[in-house]
Structure 1
Amino acid sequence: MKQPLAYRMRPVHIDEVIGQSHLVGENKIIRRMVDAKMLSSMILYGPPGIGKTSIASAIAGSTHSAFRQLNAATDTKKDLQIVVEEAKFSGQVILLLDEVHRLDKPKQDFLLPHLESGQVILIGATTENPYISISPAIRSRTQIFELKPLTTDDVVLALKRAIGDEKRGLGKEKITIDEDALLHFARSTMGDVRGSLNALELAALSTKPDPDGTIRITLNIAEECVQKKALVHDKNGDAHYDVISAFQKSIRGSDVDASMHYLARLLEAGELLIACRRLIVCAYEDIGLGNPQAVARTVLAVQAAEKLGLPEARIPLANAVVDLALSPKSNSAYLALDSALADVRAGKSGEIPDNLRDSHYSGANKLGRGIGYQYPHDFPDHWVKQQYLPDSLNNRRYYEPAATGKYEQALANQLQRRFNKDS
């Protein structure tokens, strides 16, 4: 029986791993282990389909080590014994243990001494937080690495490799794929390379070739094979960016129903990561100091959504959308920074006042550094009148409080009190 495309396209060398550059990139820790041939047991955790098995396979291939794969939930202690016996015979075996968080105590107790001896290099794979779900005994003998969700570009690269690879992929077939179909495969599976490759293979095998033998994969075919409608129906992707734009503008405009509608369109198209990123941008750009607690809650909601994945991710995101859409709005903080940036870029910097300059070195007093600086905590209300801006910008105002939200009104009152004292 022919193995699935996703299985055939697993990396056989560390250079073939897609994404995870923080672990396998040049001079990063897993790359260093492979280059030095100094492997240690590790736990890889993250959402399904983003490369846990691929990294284990690539490590084995790059180091020419024996590689075995078991499942902590379904395979038995006897299966582990077979791997250990092989390790004793060959010197070392890399064991990929799926669902490592479900490793029971008898299996764990059996494995521990072999991990300590280095005969078995355990690569545990889990979608659960290992700091919560994995026993301290295993954690103390492994390094824990979090895998990051793959980007659309990462998945597109994996698909293109599969289409062009004549040995392991679909390269022997005469395949053309429309750009919007390729993007739909990549986007609709939410960074799951395995799911994208499975859908691509189904499309290639189930599409009737043209008279010249060409298998042409269109967006409609991609939608059928993924069973999700595309958010984008034009090659340039305008509709895709229109939905993202409408999503943020609806939140900014306090239309909670429209905001929910566009969130639904993003999630139905598999754009969980884009929805999450856009919500954080909205929180800081459009709500900001109008309701800082809603901003903090949004960050927590996004973190929960990324951990949960769809479909459950929709629950914290729905809460965040209602919270942001109906919150007081303020963009005063980032407008203040943009105004300051404009001055700096225009060359309006000026000399830092001497009393603010660093005075923690020998000879600073002779240069007048730090002399005359007044420590605000030594004064009532922890404030004292003194100049902080350069002379050329003295009395320049960047921050103008918005007139919405109790929190920013409190900031405005504080600013006004300081201004009155300063006058």
Structure 2
Amino acid sequence: MNKPLAYRMRPRNLDEVVGQQHLVGKGKIIRRMVEAKMLSSMILYGPPGTGKTSIASAIAGSTRYAFRMLNAATDTKKDLQIVAEEAKMSGSVILMLDEVHRLDKTKQDFLLPYLENGKIILIGATTENPYISISPAIRSRTQIFEVKSLQEEDIKQAIEFSLSDTERGLGNKKVALDELALLHLTRATNGDLRSALNGLELAVKSTQADEEGITHLTLEIIEECIQKKAMVHDKKGDAHYDVISALQKSIRGSDVNAAMHYLARLVEAGDMLIICRRLMVIAYEDIGLANPQAAARTVTAVQAAEKLGLPEAKIPLAQAVTDLCLSPKSNSAYLAIDAALADIRKGLIGEVPDHLKDNHYSGAKELGRGIGYRYPHDAPDGWVPQQYLPDGLKNKKYYQPKATGKYEQALGNRYKQLEERQK
């Protein structure tokens, strides 16, 4: 049986890795390790289909080490022993261990001494947060790197490469991929390159070529092969972003019916990751301090949606949209950080006042660091008049409270009281 396209197109070296330039780009940590021939064990964590196995494969292809792949959940201790024996004979082996968070104690105890002496260079892959799901014993012997969702341009680049590669890809076939079909393939797979390539291969193999031997892939064919509908068959493919924008603006405008309509369009298109990310942005950008509990409830709803998956995910997502729509609105915190960032980018920084500087080191006192700092917790109400901003910015006001919710009204009253007392 032929191996899937996504498997065949795994990178042979770091230059072929799609995305993840924060790890494998020029001068970045993994490339430095490979170039210096100083590989150490690592854990790669991030969403499915983003290149964790690809990075491991590329590292192996860029070095002289043997490369073996196992799964922590399904492979046995005996499988690990075989890898260990090979490592003893060859010097070192790179072991790609998928689902590393499911490594049980017996396998873990067996691996630890080999990680210590460098005989096995572990590259663990997981979709779980390793700081929570992986044992401290393994974590202390590995470096932890986050693998991020691929961008549309990354997916597009990989698709085009697979269509031109005659050795491993689909380059031996004449494939005409419509512009809208390519656009949908890059967007609807939500950064999952494996899904994009698998959908592409299915489309190519299941579509009859025309009289000239050309396999013509339309938007409708790609929709069927990845089982996700496009928003609207418009010429520029802008509908995807238009619907996301309309969802946020409807929630901001407190129109729950319009927001539910746009949510339904995104759900029907299968864009759950987009929905979840956008709802969390809206919760903090548009509702903000007017109703902080709505933001907390939105995070909980998103977590539930991610656990459930579609179609059931629509239920907590609809609840979050209703909650956000009918909540009071405030963008005061959003405006405050933007105003502060604008000053920073204009060079309005200034020096930290001496009394606020760190004084936990030898010689700090002689430099005047921390002298005159007043500890607010020593005051009866936890506040003392004291300058915190640099001299050139000491009268700046970034936060402007709004009166659109009881919580921010209370914050605003406290803010004004402190301003008066500071004066």
TM range (shorter): 0.7 to 0.9
Aligned counterpart, 1:121: 121
Deviations 1:114-161 (A, max 9, x none): 222211112122222333333333223222222222222222221111
Distance change >3 Å, CA 280–CA 106, structure 1 → 2: closer
Distance change >3 Å, CA 77–CA 216, structure 1 → 2: same
Distance change >3 Å, CA 400–CA 216, structure 1 → 2: same
Distance change >3 Å, CA 264–CA 152, structure 1 → 2: farther
Query: What secondary structure sits across from 1:200 in the alignment?
Result: helix
Aligned counterpart, 1:156: 156
Aligned counterpart, 1:364: none
Distance change >3 Å, CA 414–CA 88, structure 1 → 2: closer
Distance change >3 Å, CA 147–CA 340, structure 1 → 2: closer
Taking the aligned partners of 1:397 and 1:112, their CA distance within structure 2 comes to 54
Distance change >3 Å, CA 169–CA 54, structure 1 → 2: same
Deviation (angstroms), 1:217? 0.8
User: Rg bigger for which structure?
Assistant: 1
Taking the aligned partners of 2:101 and 2:356, their CA distance within structure 1 comes to 51
Deviation (angstroms), 1:208? 1.4
Structure 1 residue 61 corresponds to structure 2 residue 44: no
Aligned counterpart, 1:196: 196
Aligned counterpart, 2:139: 139
Query: What secondary structure sits across from 1:168 in the alignment?
Result: coil
Taking the aligned partners of 1:98 and 1:283, their CA distance within structure 2 comes to 35
Deviation (angstroms), 1:198? 0.7
Letter in 2 for 1:11: P
Deviation (angstroms), 1:169? 0.8
CA contact 2:68–2:95 (8 Å) conserved in 1: yes
Query: What secondary structure sits across from 2:216 in the alignment?
Result: strand
Letter in 2 for 1:190: N
Distance change >3 Å, CA 171–CA 118, structure 1 → 2: same
- Shifted more, 337-346 versus 204-213: the winner is 337-346
Taking the aligned partners of 1:51 and 1:45, their CA distance within structure 2 comes to 10
> C-alpha root-mean-square deviation of aligned residues, in Å?
3.8
Deviations 1:39-90 (A, max 9, x none): 1122222222111111110110011321111222222222222222222222
Taking the aligned partners of 1:128 and 1:341, their CA distance within structure 2 comes to 33
Taking the aligned partners of 1:327 and 1:183, their CA distance within structure 2 comes to 35
Taking the aligned partners of 2:65 and 2:171, their CA distance within structure 1 comes to 28
TM-score by length of 2: 0.82
Aligned residues: 409
TM-score by length of 1: 0.82
Aligned counterpart, 2:369: none
Deviations 1:252-303 (A, max 9, x none): 1223343233223223323334323322332233212211232344356556
CA contact 2:184–2:219 (8 Å) conserved in 1: yes
Q: Which runs of 5+ in 2 are unaligned?
A: 358-371
Structure 1 residue 176 corresponds to structure 2 residue 176: yes
CA contact 2:152–2:186 (8 Å) conserved in 1: yes
Aligned counterpart, 2:217: 217
Distance change >3 Å, CA 288–CA 94, structure 1 → 2: same
